[in-house]
Structure 1
């Protein structure tokens, strides 16, 4: 077998990136190396460098492939708030399906490729009806992304048999057996009935942020 081919045929950048994503999904981003990707493809490690310069470039390509899987609707046909919920849900689904994305998006250099930049452009376009200065709009998108990433980390970190994907309910359940005599406000909060499971904690938390964005847009118009 030629070192430039794998058991499924000639190597390509697409096959290399796909194999790297498989490894990262299974074992995390630290498990991804040119050698392990080559082993997955049944090829020689050096043959990968004809398509990808190094691991940094490979990780950027991995992020790009995941982001390119999202087809964003026409922002003009949605309210700005609907657009932000759509963007957040896309990112949320990517982080839960590919937890390594949380590390990759924070550490790769350069941090963005075409698909990632297109998502940012789409978000800024969707916020234009609010009349925010560009820097304010960018800050709003960044704050929303930080919320999505933080929420994903909490949920992924708590995933275990019987765990609740709602951080609020999970927190309430964990503290239910704790002696909170010296913390009466916490005790009162914990003793309240569990929230209606049909209410979406993720969307509600996002709306707290978006309410602030809307308030700042009103100030910007004054």
Structure 2
């Protein structure tokens, strides 16, 4: 009896991951079930378990696949600050392209495949120029990751916003007609002019973090 062939061809680990990513992109991580992935592949649910042991393993493989899609340049050609901007930019692009990654990276045990380990190594290598102790360098990477995830949640959680919208501008607009008489400092802030023109709020926020890192460097 020949193997069952679905829309993706013969069932394989790679095709299961690709189908799972498609389902999660379309409907979210909670809707990504083994049953739904099997239906996408035109296969039986039990046939998936010949390639992945359970849903958690599949989600880990999905995160690893998305991580592998984003290549990093040679860090030796970048300053440590430029490299951290690249790191943040890669994560930002991944979260906007695959919003389910926010849930996956927060709730599932991080995968330690080649792509994930290579990304960690790249970031730590780039930070060697900053002359930080290893644990401090790790905290920098973690802080940047947290900043990117938080920013992505704000943008993706606001159904009326676009990826490039300035959250600060939107925040001021929403509070503009609120009675803030009991909050004088906040009232003064909101009453002030909106930021003129377009600004790269994401980069500006990241630079606030990197300024703090730079201040820790030895003179």
Same fold, judged at TM 0.5 (above): yes
Give the alignment's TM-score, normalised by structure 1: 0.92
Task: Name whichever of 207-216 and 154-163 sits farther off.
Answer: 154-163
Q: Is the 8 A contact 2:19 2:40 kept in 1?
A: yes
Q: Is the 8 A contact 2:25 2:98 kept in 1?
A: yes
Residue 152 of structure 1 is matched in structure 2 by 152
Structure 1 position 217 matched with structure 2 position 208? no
Q: What CA deviation, in whole Å up to 9, does each residue of 1:139-160 have, x standing for no partner?
A: 1100110011011111111132
In the alignment, structure 2 segments of 5+ residues that lack a partner are: none
Q: CA deviation at 1:2?
A: 5.8
Q: What CA deviation, in whole Å up to 9, does each residue of 1:46-87 have, x standing for no partner?
A: 111121111111001100111101110011101110110011
Q: What pairs up with 1:15-34 in 2 under 5 angstroms?
A: 15-34=15-34
Q: CA deviation at 1:196?
A: 3.0
Q: What pairs up with 1:49-198 in 2 under 5 angstroms?
A: 49-160=49-160, 165-198=165-198
Runs of 4+ aligned residues of structure 1 deviating over 3 Å after TM superposition are 1-4, 161-164
Supply the distance in 2 between the matched residues of 1:142 and 1:210 (Cα, whole angstroms): 13
Give the alignment's TM-score, normalised by structure 2: 0.94
Q: CA deviation at 1:198?
A: 2.7
In the alignment, structure 1 segments of 5+ residues that lack a partner are: none
Q: CA deviation at 1:3?
A: 6.2
Q: What CA deviation, in whole Å up to 9, does each residue of 1:175-195 have, x standing for no partner?
A: 011111222211211122211
* Compared CA separation, residues 135 and 74, structure 1 to 2 (3 A): same
Supply the distance in 2 between the matched residues of 1:16 and 1:109 (Cα, whole angstroms): 20
Structure 1 position 40 matched with structure 2 position 40? yes
Q: Number of aligned pairs?
A: 219
Supply the distance in 2 between the matched residues of 1:162 and 1:68 (Cα, whole angstroms): 26
Task: Name whichever of 186-195 and 135-144 sits farther off.
Answer: 186-195
Q: Is the 8 A contact 2:155 2:163 kept in 1?
A: no
